[in-house]
Amino acid sequence: MATKKYIMHNVANTRVPLALGDLKVNAEFKNGNIQNRIPASLITSDPVVQMAIESNKNYFGRLILLEWSHPDPSDEKPRGTAEPAGMKLEDVKSIDDVKAYLIQNHGVARNISSVDTIKAKVAEFGLVFPNFSFE
């Protein structure tokens, strides 16, 4: 789950009671400074707290703002291992297919032409083509 930072302006420390169905959640915002205009903040990766905050239309987007969100590294798939919707790894059988795959699935520039550059991109993305070899 992503880690998110929520902020509230014009408070130093406060506890906001929120309801998520029958569940009651207290979101505690801390370390604000009203005089210096530093908002109180809450950083959490708890999906229940995030859902309680974001589903409350009276607070979220008005009094409580989302400052940033960082995905959990364990949620990310390693580069080059997922099979994208277009051309699949097994479909690649020639150098032109490799080039087309890189353009379609990894956003490589269309003017890529050097075999060494193509090899470098394949290595960069950790790709293995079962039906093609550069040798």
pLDDT digits (tens, 9 = 90+) for 50-68: 999 999 999 998 999 998 8
Judged on CB neighbours under 10 Å (0-12, 13-18, 19+), 60 is middle
Separation between Cα atoms, residue 86 and residue 122, nearest integer Å: 17
Q: Where are the alpha helices (DSSP H) in the chain?
A: 47-54, 95-106, 115-125
Tell me the pLDDT band of 122, cut-offs 50, 70 and 90.
Answer: confident
Q: Average pLDDT for residues 79-106, to the nearest whole number? A: 73
Separation between Cα atoms, residue 97 and residue 100, nearest integer Å: 5
The residue assigned the tokens 């087309």 is 100
Furthest-apart CA atoms within the chain: distance in Å: 68
- Against a cut of 0.75, is the pTM above it? no
- Per-residue DSSP letter, 39: P
